[in-house]
Amino acid sequence: MNVALAETDLTWRHVGTIDDIPRQGARCVKNAEMTIAVFRTSDDRVFALEDKCPHKAGPLSNGIVHGGCVTCPLHNWVISLEDGTAQGADEGATASFPVRLEGRDIYLNLSA
Amino acid sequence: MTKQRLVIIGNGMAPGRMLEHLFETSTDYDVTIFNAEPRVNYDRIMLSPVLSGEKTYEDIIIHGDAWYEDHGITLHRGEKVTHIDREAKTVTSEGGITAPYDKLVIATGSNPFIIPCPGHDLPGVLAYRDLNDVDGMLAAAEKGGRAVVIGGGLLGLEAAAGLKMRGMDVTVLHLMPTLMERQLDPAAGYLLQKELEARGIDIRCGANTKAIHGKDAVEAIELDDGTMIDATLVVMAVGIRPNVAVAQEAGLTVNRGIVADASLRTSDPDIFTVGECAEVDGRVYGLVAPLYQMARVAASHLCGTCDKEFMHSETPTKLKVTGVNLYSVGEFGDGPGMEDVVLRDAAKGTYRRVILRDNKVIGAVLYGDTADGAWYNEMLKSGQDVSEMRETLIFGQNYQGGGAVNPLAAVANLADDAEICGCNGICKGDIVNAITAKGLTSLGDVRAHTKASASCGTCTGLVENLMALTLGDAMSKAPEGMCGCTTLGHGDVRRLIKAKGLKSIPAIMQELEWTTAEGCAKCRPALNYYLVADWPGEYKDDQQSRFINERVHANIQKDGTYSVVPRMFGGMTTPDELRAIADVADKYDIPSVKVTGGQRIDLLGVKKEDLIPVWADLNKAGMISGAAYSKGLRTVKTCVGTDWCRFGTQDSTGLGIKLEKYLWGSWAPAKLKLAVTGCPRNCAEATCKDIGVICVDSGYEIVYGGAAGLHIQGTTMLGKVATEEEVIETIGALTQYYRETGFYLERIYKWADRIGYDHIRDVIFDDLDARKAFADRFAYSQTFAQIDPWAERVAGAESHEFKPMAVLDAALEAAE
């Protein structure tokens, strides 16, 4: 089965279910090096970015999620959930990570 | 030479327009008007927006009192003419006023048709003709319940939509199988029905009313098939009958209407008739465009130029229900030699049908996207052969000739004599000439000078495009939208939320046509606030549309940690509270403790995961959130007043505590900081606060609109009251007025600048009833708002906000 296989796969880590994250919201996943923000959009897509705005390291997980982007709570930079790049006139990008949704389970690949 | 006497019976839109034309060319008349309604001339076709709340009566007045004075018109209000003496050339009113005339114009309009079923005369049965009817409906809507509208034509549906927006349950009964069958084909009628049903309006076609039941007022309505429908209001909108009584009594020739020739003269050469009561060439009219044409013709014959004759033409129909776009003109039945071209888009819910005969457009029905209506109508009028563009005709004007799709191209391609404003018969050339000759740059100017789009307003977009085309960059821009997601400003959005009864963010975005799918970080918090403020107890706060500070009830700092400020009512604290704060600071390693400008204590550098335990400890010591993060009530700062001060005149500390207990928890457009100072020495700095109270020997001065941030300004006096109770009520009312009309992030001083200090004083200080009503609404709203968000979260609410979803490192996991 897919799920069982994925759980044994070391590069893909199970981090929770989609129901753990509110729509248009985010939750954090921590490991030794960093905090990752896992976002859920209004149409139930899931994305993962390092929880650090490319501008002044603001916690993106605390921003408002809208139209495939998140607005940083510190200085309103708008960051694409897809690839972590700053939108509009701002320049910069935060790291983004592959996420896989199997049923309602979320798997994160941090080695990519 | 003495002036001739012109008497007009009726003061509606047709005679009003006739006089405007007359005064343009002639001053030979002394004018007397008898108006059965006690009002000036107003725009009857805008009654629907008044009913729905999108406009007020003042907005739709065409001629104010000053206009009548300026033109020396004698206006008898509330005087119905009952007799015309054609021998003596006089008219006499019910109230006994007699006026002699040289020329008489009968403009008595029409009466609504009332189905003579049992119960039709019960209180609660209304027609939909004039402002009295609208007032009656609004009074009924206040009480709620179900309104049954009989008649699914233009007026009936506008009434139904308006009543729905006013919060009533609405049922429409329509005799025919589809809605608006005289203007729409069944397909468009279906789309319209679907749209209205989606708004919660119950529509029953093929329904025949048998009787209206009720003891002292309407209670229910019975259909032919025995169905009973509860009703607190019945609106009959089943058609109009020309009002010919006074003409008939005077012996003029009367058929369905008062018979007139192409110059609008009746069978008596000194008597004219215009408006819905007039019949020309066997036809009577109910839409404004032909009535305005009558006005122009009658004026030309009154002033002696006699250069115009009335000609029948097809008038397009539009429905004035916000968000419903439909357009129909000409013929659309099935007949010999008629060909249809149809285009549908089910996903978009649009429908478009053009009817041809002998390769000429003879009719068009558009639903959903009506921008090309004027273009089809122009071809209908000109009778042009369309065989060349037969293939692309249905796609509209932009697709002709393979040109790029450009909204301006559509108007650029129109001929100079193409009609833009159907209500007023204004052509493209008239508008362009007015813009260039008079240097007009705003829509308001163009309306004032040409009347284009000044009646029903559905051609506003065309007029604006025409302005953009003519002026280029010189065009005055409309106010900017609240963000990039909408062209509507905050004021429009707030008004429409109430008028259309929008109770969720998706509903606002759909109904007000947001250009983005889910808004942005600018508009969502604003919409969330407007809904919280407008629908207390009904709207569920959308946490995901709140800025992080209001979501986690603490202030985010530059390093992603938070600051925590417990409430200290009136700036008073106790040794126990201080000890609890000190303990919390120690226990959670809080790096900074600071005294704030609002007389309380700020704990800075709290980790997000520690927020819940910190609050739990503070709650245990009896403290609640100070809302130092909110767009809402922050603090009430006080001095020590009569408790300790040698100069104190009142108990400023006690009053400050009472005020803070009354106000805490309330959300507002922006932060709200108060102060109560015990004497004019002003130690609590009340005169630079959003709202301040200055205690004096004889009472309390309430001041507001101060600022001490980026902008510095002293407060303005609202008024002086004698008791603490009045202080509390007045400040509650002021806060509520600000909550209801302020724009998101607009501080109270900016709000007051915008809407006017005098106006605010009139509304919430001088008018005691209004003050109480505002204060009552505030108190009601507070019953839902005064819940400590910290305690809620300590008890488990929104727990996902405060802990990570997963910790992947084993060592880290152990540490957590």
Per-residue model confidence (pLDDT) at position B627: 96
Tell me what the mean pLDDT of segment B425-446 comes to.
Answer: 85
Per-residue model confidence (pLDDT) at position B748: 96
Answer yes or no: do B145 and B54 share one domain: no
Per-residue model confidence (pLDDT) at position B480: 63
Question: Residue B65 maps to which CATH number?
Answer: 3.50.50.60
Q: CB pairs below 8 Å between A and B: how many?
A: 94
Q: Using a CB cutoff of 8 Å and minimum separation of 24, what contacts does B554-560 make? A: B554/B606, B554/B611, B554/B629, B555/B628, B555/B629, B556/A59, B556/A62, B556/A73, B556/A74, B557/B604, B557/B605, B558/A56, B558/A74, B559/B605, B560/A57, B560/A58, B560/A59, B560/A62, B560/B608
Tell me what the mean pLDDT of segment B487-516 comes to.
Answer: 86
Among B238, B253, B288, the domain boundary falls at: B238
Q: Tell me how close the Cα of A41 comes to any Cα of chain B, in angstroms.
A: 10
**Residue B538 near residue B204, CB atoms below 8 Å:** no
Confidence of residue B313 (pLDDT cuts 50, 70, 90): confident
Answer yes or no: do B662 and B763 share one domain: yes
* CA–CA gap between residue A80 and residue A68 (Å, rounded): 6
Residue-range definition of the domain harbouring residue A16: 2-109
**pLDDT (tens digit, 9 = 90+) per residue, B127-179?**
998 888 999 999 998 888 999 999 998 889 999 999 998 889 999 999 888 88
Among B546, B567, B594, the domain boundary falls at: B546
Give the residue from B180, B191, B183 showing the smallest Cα distance to B346: B191
Answer yes or no: do B92 and B135 share one domain: no
Confidence of residue A1 (pLDDT cuts 50, 70, 90): very low
Answer yes or no: do B640 and B781 share one domain: yes
For residue B58, list its beta bridge partners.
none
Output the known binding site of B for [4Fe-4S] cluster. 639, 645, 679, 683
**Residue B607 near residue B561, CB atoms below 8 Å:** yes
- Record: contact B516-A16, CB cut-off 8 A: no
Answer yes or no: do B90 and B208 share one domain: no
Answer yes or no: do B711 and B666 share one domain: yes
Residues 6+ apart with CB under 8 A from B814: none
pLDDT at B454 over 80: no
Per-residue model confidence (pLDDT) at position B470: 85
Per-residue model confidence (pLDDT) at position B465: 83
Instruction: Return the top range by mean pLDDT from B36-50, B268-282, B431-445.
Output: B268-282
* CA–CA gap between residue B467 and residue B470 (Å, rounded): 5
* CA–CA gap between residue B78 and residue B97 (Å, rounded): 11
Per-residue model confidence (pLDDT) at position B185: 79
Candidates A13, A22, A24; nearest CB to B808 = A13
Three-state SS for B190?
helix
Per-residue model confidence (pLDDT) at position B37: 85
Tell me what the mean pLDDT of segment B269-280 comes to.
Answer: 95
Confidence of residue B333 (pLDDT cuts 50, 70, 90): low
Candidates B524, B809, B816; nearest CB to A64 = B524
Find the closest chain B residue to A71 by CA distance. B521
Confidence of residue B476 (pLDDT cuts 50, 70, 90): low
Backbone angles phi, psi at B585, to 5 degrees: -60, -40
Check if A61 contacts B (Cβ < 8 Å): no
Candidates A13, A58, A71; nearest CB to B521 = A71
* CA–CA gap between residue B109 and residue A4 (Å, rounded): 80
Answer yes or no: do B669 and B703 share one domain: yes
Give the residue from B418, B93, B91, B368 showing the smallest Cα distance to B250: B91
Edge-to-edge strand list for the sheet holding A105-109: A12-17, A105-109, A99-102
Residue A58: list chain B partners with CB under 8 A: 560
Question: In chain B, what is the greatest distance between 2 CA atoms, to the nearest angstrom?
Answer: 111
Answer yes or no: do B233 and B257 share one domain: no
Per-residue model confidence (pLDDT) at position B462: 82
Per-residue CA distances from B411 to B375, B465, B487, B665 (Å): 9, 7, 21, 53
Output the known binding site of B for siroheme. 683
- Record: contact B548-A62, CB cut-off 8 A: yes
Residues of B with CB under 8 A from a CB of A: 516-521, 524-525, 543-549, 551-552, 556, 558, 560, 800, 804-809, 811-812, 816
**Residue B318 near residue B327, CB atoms below 8 Å:** yes
Q: Is B216 among the domain residues?
A: yes
Candidates A20, A56, A64; nearest CB to B800 = A20
Q: Is B387 among the domain residues?
A: no
Check if A56 contacts B (Cβ < 8 Å): yes
Average pLDDT, chain B: 89
- Record: contact B800-A67, CB cut-off 8 A: no
Tally the domains of chain A. Answer: 1
Question: In chain A, what is the greatest distance between 2 CA atoms, to the nearest angstrom?
Answer: 46
Tell me what the mean pLDDT of segment A65-80 comes to.
Answer: 91
Confidence of residue A2 (pLDDT cuts 50, 70, 90): very low
- Record: contact A64-B804, CB cut-off 8 A: no
Query: What was the ipTM of the complex prediction?
Result: 0.84
Question: Residue B721 maps to which CATH number?
Answer: 3.30.413.10
Confidence of residue B551 (pLDDT cuts 50, 70, 90): very high
Per-residue model confidence (pLDDT) at position A7: 46
Tally the domains of chain B. Answer: 4
Q: Tell me how close the Cα of B521 comes to any Cα of chain A, in angstroms.
A: 6
pLDDT at A14 over 90: yes
Answer yes or no: do B687 and B767 share one domain: yes
Question: Residue A40 maps to which CATH number?
Answer: 2.102.10.10
| Percent of chain B with pLDDT strictly greater than 70 | 96
Q: Is B406 among the domain residues?
A: no
**pLDDT (tens digit, 9 = 90+) per residue, B90-130?**
999 999 999 999 999 999 999 988 889 999 999 999 999 88
Backbone angles phi, psi at B321, to 5 degrees: -120, 120
Check if A74 contacts B (Cβ < 8 Å): yes
Report the alpha-carbon angle B634-B635-B636, nearest 5: 145
Candidates A23, A29, A32; nearest CB to B806 = A29
Q: Tell me how close the Cα of A47 comes to any Cα of chain B, in angstroms.
A: 14
Give the residue from B490, B502, B540, B551 showing the smallest Cα distance to B741: B490
**Structure-block tokens of residue B671:** 């932060």
Check if A38 contacts B (Cβ < 8 Å): yes
Strands (E), B20-102: 29-35, 41-42, 61-63, 74-77, 81-85, 90-93, 98-100
The full length of chain B comes to 816
**Residue B624 near residue B537, CB atoms below 8 Å:** no
Q: Which element (helix H / strand E) includes B52?
A: helix B47-52
State the burial class of residue B692 (Cβ atoms within 10 Å of its Cβ: 0-12, 13-18, 19+).
buried
Q: Is B483 among the domain residues?
A: no
- Record: contact B800-A27, CB cut-off 8 A: yes
Check if A31 contacts B (Cβ < 8 Å): yes
Rounded CA Rg of chain B? 33
Tell me what the mean pLDDT of segment B552-567 comes to.
Answer: 93
Using the CB atoms, write b or e for B475-514: b if 16+ within 10 Å.
beeeeebbbebbebebebbbbbbebbbbebbeebbebbeb
Alpha helices (H) in B216-258, listed in sequence order: 245-249
* CA–CA gap between residue B248 and residue B250 (Å, rounded): 5
Answer yes or no: do B234 and B248 share one domain: no
**pLDDT (tens digit, 9 = 90+) per residue, B41-82?**
888 888 888 888 888 888 888 888 889 998 899 999 999 999
Residue-range definition of the domain harbouring residue B708: 631-785
Report the alpha-carbon angle B29-B31-B37, nearest 5: 160
Among B204, B222, B238, the domain boundary falls at: B238
Q: Tell me how close the Cα of B802 comes to any Cα of chain A, in angstroms.
A: 9
Looking at the whole model, is its pTM more than 0.80?
Answer: no
pLDDT at B623 over 90: yes
Per-residue H/E/C for B322-383: CCCCEEEEECCCCCCCEEEEEEEECCCCEEEEEEEECCEEEEEEEECCCCCHHHHHHHHHHC
For residue B203, list its beta bridge partners.
B172
Answer yes or no: do B230 and B249 share one domain: no
**Structure-block tokens of residue A22:** 């509110």
Per-residue model confidence (pLDDT) at position B325: 82
At position B136, the amino acid (one-letter code) is G
* CA–CA gap between residue B788 and residue B621 (Å, rounded): 14
Per-residue model confidence (pLDDT) at position A33: 87
Check if A28 contacts B (Cβ < 8 Å): yes
pLDDT at B761 over 90: yes
Question: For chain B, how far is it from start to end, CA to CA, in angstroms?
Answer: 103
Q: Is B648 among the domain residues?
A: yes
Q: Which element (helix H / strand E) includes B562?
A: strand B562-564
Candidates A27, A64, A76; nearest CB to B805 = A27
Answer yes or no: do B88 and B190 share one domain: no
